[in-house]
Structure 1
């Protein structure tokens, strides 16, 4: 007889992985980038401080076409190596053990606390996005409609925002705050990735 009537299983791909998985679908079944970004921004992760969200199992999803090694280093870069869905570890034995026997879980990949970001991440995120907003405000003064505005610090091919009309500081700051809140749940490992992500976010939302 079951001693616990339920558990919570959270699948946590990065935003980049979500877009990658979406691209694997037949073209007619894909979501737009805008919809995926909005869903990610609005999603609220389960929190084990609430008893109704316990026990919580977290299934990490990435792009790797292989299973995750049993022993991994506690390193932020490991996010890039999580297995694709068909190779994911769903902790089925532990879930059955908990549901059927009520056995207390020991700390492992599914239950341990993983650092969300380097200590300077939030500062870097705030500074980089502010710099992009400043560049756009200055560049649009002399830009013509349809021109691509180049953003310093972004990688080639991901460094341009299309200028469609004049944008106000409050409008750009509103989008910046949305991106910052979304990025806190899915930290990026370096400055260039932050800027690339913000440029992509702006191109999806500046219409």
Structure 2
């Protein structure tokens, strides 16, 4: 069932919003269970740092934060099923991470959406200092972020973009507004069946050299991009040999470290699956086009 990704600045009241969505969905399930046997099977789960026992100090350094994200991701992946609605209550502030979660939902042919909790940074700092997050009716006293950690996370936040596949549908909830519960329910539960996507619905790996082929295909694409920039400068459309689509580069120079980071992430997403070898470069180009938007 659907994956609802909560996103927003730290200390913006995301957990309050997640709980409001959970309560709204549970009420809808109770209301419709008698007349709809499909809805009667639904269960709602909220996954958060608090539910996983993750301290906010993990965001001070890259390694513990990466481990915490991996734990969060694994829990969401384990809970997603045909009868389980998962609310991912976290900052989800990295667009590549939201893409990864979106792919997990897509692989199960279930919809996903992003609920962006829109709160000004100064309001978040105020709430963090007083340990009061959310509305009076649903306040929760929580471990505050250290001021320097809070500032760093706000600086690094990558706001959801409704023009990208993994951030849509996008529901923006200003801090003074109610949640659009009915709209989220209709988009997630009453949505038409999600069509399989080439990048997410793949056969289990069977070929012994699949990872080597995947690694070489992606490295070839990176090499073409670097050579294009060396010869032509930044920007422009790049024709990739053996790919059916072109890579659209942004007007700014894309360095090797950034390209390698995206290459490793793509390999990580697809290492457990096999696709036709002739499609690997096209898939990677499609992924890069979305990442570089």
Greater percentage in helix:
2
Greater percentage in strand:
2
Structure 2 length normalisation: TM-score?
0.34
